[in-house]
Structure 1
Amino acid sequence: MPDFGLFYKEWRQNKALLTTIFVAFMINNPFTVLSKYNSYRGCAAQQSEWGGTCLFTIDYFHGTFISLFWIWGVVLAVSQIGIERSKGLSEFTLSLPYTRGQVFNAKFMIGGMVIVVPQLIGYVLSVLLLVLLKPDQVFYFHYYSLGMIIVSMLAYSLVMAGGALTGHIFAQLLVSFTVVISPFLVITLPAISMDILFGGRLAFLDFPIPEWMMYVFPITYVVPNWVGHSPYYLVIPTVMNIMFYIIGYISFTKMSNERNGSFFLWKALDLPVQVIVIIFGILGFGCFGYAASGGIGGYLFGMAAGAVIGFLISYFAIYKKTKHV
């Protein structure tokens, strides 16, 4: 269990951001209810002029900004690890008489509380508003409110794990973004390439991906479509939250966290990741070349260009250290 001093240090260091995120999460759900109510009141005021019917409905699947609030989890994780390391504050934190595990847990716990607690408060306030205002219909309120707590924590834990693995802000964001788009990189690009090479004769590409499999990938939760499906799918991002926490904890405690400008803190990852980037560059530019030319010649030319571009990007991103700020 982290010491109170670590919580106080995290609060003093990020109090402006923590306060902003807390307030934003707390008022967003009640603001949504009040905004819909004001729209209904405006409609009712004009009803006598055009003779229509006004209904006070709240649909969390459409017309709410709550689905964008996972971004606050990303901002908080970048501030707690990426910005702290880039400014050299991590050396001071690690010099305190605490273990690295205590430091990481203090960051994660205060981040989790700032994400979860205000959303629970906002949920309770929204329930009270719904009881008071008595809307005609409310869609997906409970499922969406609970789901956004899990999704915003998923974004936070993912970027925290990315920050614990990498040495600066750009690397933290790039690794996190790569994990988010991993289904496209791991499944779609190879499938398209195989389809091109076999002349479109691979019948298995015509079958849709099972719905449950979509929820294994974090990118699914970026858009609010998940709210229209089974609430049991929220178990998957809950498990991913735990997994990313474990990855972040192990990386933070076992690797050097001082500011050294390296892309990955664990140097053994450099070469395998570079090879993977080159492979994705070959496949991606090969598919683009085929789409642009419509022939296998364009596909081969795109593969060659992708190999060069993938090598250059991976070399300068991974092996060239960033300057200290």
Structure 2
Amino acid sequence: MPDSGLLYKEWKQNKVALVITILVFILGNPLSILNMYLTYQGCVTGKENWVGPCVFSVDYLNSTFISVFWIWGVVLAVSQLGIERSKGYFDFTLSLPYTRGQIFNAKFLTGGMVIVIPQLIGYVLSVLLILFLKPDQAVYFHNYSLGMIIVSMLAYSLVMAGGALTGNIFAQLLVSFTVTILPFLVITLPAINMDILFGGRARFLDYPIPEWMQYIFPITYVIPNWVEDSPNYLVIPAVMSIIFYLIGYISFVKLSNERNGYFFLWKALDRPVQVIVIIIGILGFGYFGFATSESFAGYLLGMAAGALVGFFISYFAIYKKIKQL
């Protein structure tokens, strides 16, 4: 358990972000239900302007306030690591009489409690509101409300891991976003290019992705349709959250803070990541060139352009120090 002094320090340093997140998590779910109820009342009072019968349905497949709760996990992680590092507060934090492991766990515990407890409170308030308003049906209410806690923790732990590996906010967000689509970059994009090279005879794309596999794409959870499948699949983001926590913890403990402002804190990652970015640029622009021109010449031109774009983006992003605030 982290020292109470560290927890207090985290609270005071990030109080604005924490308070706003708590309020959003507590009120977001009940407000979603109230919004659906007011829409139903609008149908009842102005029925002549509506098509079909008026039904009070709590439907979490439609847009709700809680569908963007994952964003607040990102905000918290950026506030606790990216902003603190960019403002130079880390020198003070690391000078405190605590180990790096204690500091990271205090940050993670603070963020985790702010994500989980207010959402549970909002869930209980929403259950009471449903019992009071008595909707005709509640579609995916329990699965989505509770599942969103796991999804928010996934977003938080992912961006925390990105922040522990990188030296500025831009790098933290870019690395985190790349990981959210990483399965596409390492599986789907190469398969598309192989299919182009073999003239469609490779048949890599003829086999549908197994349903469970889409859940290793963190980007899947941005759209609420994941709730239609088995709730057992939520084990996958829960396990990924633990993995990202471990990556963040090990990175925070082992890596120094000396390269403040650079992309990666671990310099050994610079060159391999640059090569990967160039390869992704080649494959992505090659596919775009082929799709645009429907010719192999367009494919080759796209690959050449992708190599240049990938090189310059990776060079200026990775090797150029960003001025701190």
Which residue is equivalent to 2:16?
A: 16
Secondary structure of the residue aligned to 2:14 is helix
Question: What runs of 5+ residues in structure 2 fail to find an aligned partner?
Answer: none
Q: Report SS of the residue matched to 1:69.
A: helix
Q: Which runs of 5+ in 1 are unaligned?
A: none
Q: 1:213-241 deviations in whole A, cap 9, x for unaligned?
A: 00011111111110111000000000001
Q: TM-score, normalised by structure 1?
A: 0.97
Query: CA separation in 1, counterparts of 2:5 and 2:186?
Result: 43
> Which residue does the alignment assign to 1:256?
256
- Please state whether the residue corresponding to 1:282 is helix, strand or coil: helix
Decide which moves more: 63-72 or 43-52.
Answer: 43-52
Which amino acid is the alignment partner of residue 273 of structure 1?
V
Residue 150 (structure 1) aligned with residue 150 (structure 2): yes
- Which residue is 1:25 aligned to? 25
> After alignment, is 235-244 or 181-190 more displaced?
181-190
Q: Residue type matched to 1:59 in 2?
A: D
Q: Deviations over 1:39-84 (max 9, x none)?
A: 2223223348989642211101113131112101101100100000
Offset, 1:260 = 2.0
Following superposition of structure 1 onto structure 2, how do residues 185-204 of structure 1 map, counting pairs within 5 Å?
Answer: 185-204=185-204
Q: Which residue of 1 aligns with 2:323?
A: 323
Aligned mates of 1:69, 1:42 — CA distance in 2: 27
Name the counterpart of 2:61.
61
1:252, 1:218 → 2: CA distance?
Answer: 22
Equivalent in the alignment of 1:221: 221
- Work out the CA distance in 2 between the residues paired with 1:50 and 1:261: 56
Query: What's the CA shift for 1:186?
Result: 1.0
Matched residue, 2:280: 280
State the aligned residue count: 325
**Aligned counterparts of 1:305 and 1:63: Cα–Cα separation in 2:** 39
Distance in 2 of aligned mates of 1:204 and 1:273: 26
Which residue of structure 1 lines up, in the alignment, with residue 234 of structure 2? Answer: 234
Q: Give me the whole-angstrom Cα distance separating, in 2, the residues matched to 1:240 and 1:143.
A: 19
**Equivalent residues of 1:162, 1:248 under 8 A apart:** yes
Conservation of the 8 A alpha-carbon contact between 2:26 and 2:121:
yes
8 Å Cα contact 1:90/1:259 also seen in 2: no
Alignment partners' CA distance in 2, 1:13 and 1:299: 51
Q: Deviations over 1:101-125 (max 9, x none)?
A: 0100000001011111110000000
- Normalised by the length of structure 2, the TM-score is 0.97
* Distance (whole Å) between structure 2 residues aligned to residue 267 and residue 47 of structure 1: 64
Alignment of 1:55-94 (within 5 A): 55-94=55-94
Contact 2:195 2:204 in 1 (8 A): no
Structure 2 counterpart SS, 1:88: coil
1:268 counterpart = 2:271: no
1:117 is aligned to: 117
Match of 1:164?
A: 164
Question: How many Å apart are 1:183 and its aligned residue?
Answer: 2.3
How large is the RMSD of aligned CA atoms in angstroms?
A: 1.5
